[in-house]
Amino acid sequence: MPYKTILNVLGEDRADEDLQVATKLAGEVGAHLSTLFVTMAPVPTGRYQTLSPSWLEVRERNLEKLSERVTKFRERLATTELSFDVDSVYAEVAGPAYDIGERAIYADLVVAGPGVFANDDLKSQVVSGGLFQAGRPVLFVPRDANATLRPMTILLAWDSRPSAAHAAREALEMMKMAQSVHVTMVDPVAASRVSGDEPGADIATYLARHGVNISVETLPSSGRFVTETLLRHAVDINAELIVMGAYGHSKLLELILGGVTKSMLKEANLPILMAH
């Protein structure tokens, strides 16, 4: 689907860089940019017990700083030609996942830039709010990655799961405009209830009907982790974007045992569009 509203989540770290990334992306597609600046309140421990004078003083300083940054970002966006709004949340009792999810419901895409990508706590809140609560696709942009919503080469990580199919649908407009889309599978199982007798054939047919220029590629892991295999292949084909389903297994199982989603969110060096 076309991206008409982009929600950009900003944290304390490298917020300027994250805003610059989101501004570029919104400008590429003429989208409204909705910016949410998130500050995580310190956990009240020791002398900073809740409602103590020290805790209240810290809270007041944080709120003042948050207000100043919101004003700064509004002034910066006002110099662009973008349609925009800027809001903030000061997460005290619980994390900001609910606030992120509440706003993501009214967005077509959530963008988490380099600062958020490097912040494990805030990144997990974006996953919970954007992917799970709102069911929206999230574009994660690692540091030094060249993010674009008009990529020429896309790697679609395919495993025949509903989350991968959802990601493919969310990225359909980008894939239609791309020069090449590589449907990439690692050690696929040829079975009627898994990948079909010819793994990748069904999704290739589906995308081809939409005019997507498809190639189907099956990769052996050769003892490497799936994440490493995908990232190496992305470099080999000069991919500008990886599209993949997030948490094909339960989120709890992946958090405990690890999984491709968890590894990608730590190791990726190019933009990843995830959907659940």
Return averaged pLDDT per consecutive 10 residues of the chain, 276 residues in all: 94 95 98 96 62 76 92 96 96 87 98 97 94 96 96 96 95 98 91 68 96 97 94 98 85 59 94 96
Residue 83's nearest CA partner among 19, 15, 138, 34 is 34
CATH of 153-275, one of 1.10.510.10, 3.30.420.40, 3.40.50.620, 3.20.20.70: 3.40.50.620
Which strands, in side-by-side order, build the sheet including 214-219? 84-91, 32-40, 5-10, 109-112, 138-140, 272-275, 241-245, 153-157, 180-186, 214-219
Q: What pLDDT does residue 230 have?
A: 97
Q: How many CB atoms lie within 10 A of CB 206?
A: 15
The DSSP symbol for 131 reads I
Predicted TM-score (pTM) of the model is 0.92
Domain spans, the chain: 5-140, 153-275
CATH assignment of 5-140? 3.40.50.620
Q: What pLDDT does residue 237 have?
A: 98
Same fold, 5-140 and 153-275: yes
As a whole number of angstroms, the distance between CA 170 and CA 34 comes to 19
